[in-house]
A = this chain, B = another copy of it.
């Protein structure tokens, strides 16, 4: 029920603790003989270094914290994928935490995360107050994904919603569709509305049919709106894409499987970028200037546009 320690390994291999420590961290200045003896002893004992002890002693933990504002949001999940890729590539571990609701809970989650003293944190789509982000940045490196934070100590990686809308409308125009409606079914108005042509936005599927000229194409602003839009169109007896084309901004679950055309800044890319920025900043002792990266949108043409 208890874990073997460095000392157990040292005893078994007949060497000093420090030597074992060196071997465990892959130091080159250990004789081949002894190195192998140590590794064998460690293996036989099932030894695994205690990260807490290591972190305490080293002053760095080799871990970066990740705060996902909402675990259930596929966007967060995709950001996490990107982060995990980059982290694995660079040999650092991830410490995951989630917001679970309002800013208050998210703040609590962030505090809990910081109590573990990660070398840095990535905030994915945080709903935190700017002051909380700033406070975190005072303690360790911080980079933010999916929200632009005005601060001279945090890196930011953002998408480009306006460009995505433009890209979608351009694509639809290329297909010959000029009567485009933008659907926004969320509880709160999407910020993307501002990028849509004036008068094109509808807040309920029924509005679409009430128009003098029903739209030839629909741009759904967001995942939830996207799925709702598709079923609403089908239920209303419109064939997709024969009667009406559909592009969804975002990447709703099953979009690939259902063959839905989507447009968005790829979240995994954003996550990768955020991890890279953070690790660069942690790596160099030099406190490099903060950077801001914008990830351009990508249009995935699938079966709902023609």
Q: Which residues on A are within 8 Å of B, measured CB to CB?
A: 1-3, 46, 48-53, 55-56, 61, 71-72, 74, 77, 80-81, 84, 93-98, 100, 111-112, 114-117, 135, 138-140, 224, 227-228, 230-231, 234-235, 239, 252-254, 257-258
Complex: A34 Cα to B98 Cα, angstroms: 36
Which chain B residues lie closer than 8 Å to A253 at the CB level? Answer: 72, 74, 227, 252-254
In the complex, what residues of B have CB within 8 A of residue A55's CB?
52
* A26: min CB distance to chain B, Å: 16
Contact A100 B84 (CB under 8 A): yes
Q: Which of B48, B84, B257 contacts A114 (CB 8 A)?
A: B48
Within the complex, the shortest CB–CB distance from A299 to chain B, in Å, comes to 21
Known: A46-B135, A72-B74, A74-B253. 6 other contacts (CB 8 A): A50-B56, A51-B116, A52-B56, A72-B253, A95-B95, A224-B254
Which of B50, B74, B117, B139 meets A1, CB within 8 Å? B139
B71 touching A227 by the CB < 8 A rule?
no
Minimum Cβ distance to chain B for residue A98 (Å): 7
Which residues from chain B contact A52 at a C-beta distance below 8 Å? 51-53, 55-56, 61, 116-117
Complex: chain B residue closest to A232, CB-CB: B258
| Residues in B neighbouring A252, C-beta threshold 8 A | 253-254
Report yes or no: A112 in contact with B93, Cβ–Cβ below 8 A: yes
- A80 and B76 CA atoms in complex are apart in Å by 15
Task: Select one of B77, B95, B140, B231 contacting A72, CB under 8 A.
Answer: B77
Chain B: minimal CB distance from A208 (Å): 17
The CA of A239 and the CA of B236, in the complex, are separated in Å by 10
**Residues of B close to A77: CB separation below 8 A:** 71-72
A292 nearest CB across to chain B (Å) = 21
Once bound together, how far apart are the Cα atoms of A100 and B235, in whole Å? 36
* C-alpha gap A112/B88 in the complex (Å): 12
Q: Nearest chain B CB to A113's CB is how many angstroms away?
A: 9
The answer to whether B84 touches A80 (Cβ under 8 A) is no
CB distance from A192 to the nearest CB of B (A): 19
Q: Which residues of B contact A230 (CB under 8 A)?
A: 231
Docked pose: A111 CA to B51 CA in angstroms: 11
Cβ–Cβ < 8 Å partners of A71 in chain B: 71, 77, 80-81
In the bound complex, residues from chain B placing their C-beta under 8 Å from that of A135 are 46
Query: A61 vs B55: C-alpha distance in the bound complex, in angstroms?
Result: 14
Which residues from chain B contact A56 at a C-beta distance below 8 Å?
50, 52-53, 56
When distances are taken between beta carbons in the complex, the residues of chain B under 8 Å from A96 are: 95-98
A188 to chain B, nearest CB (A): 15
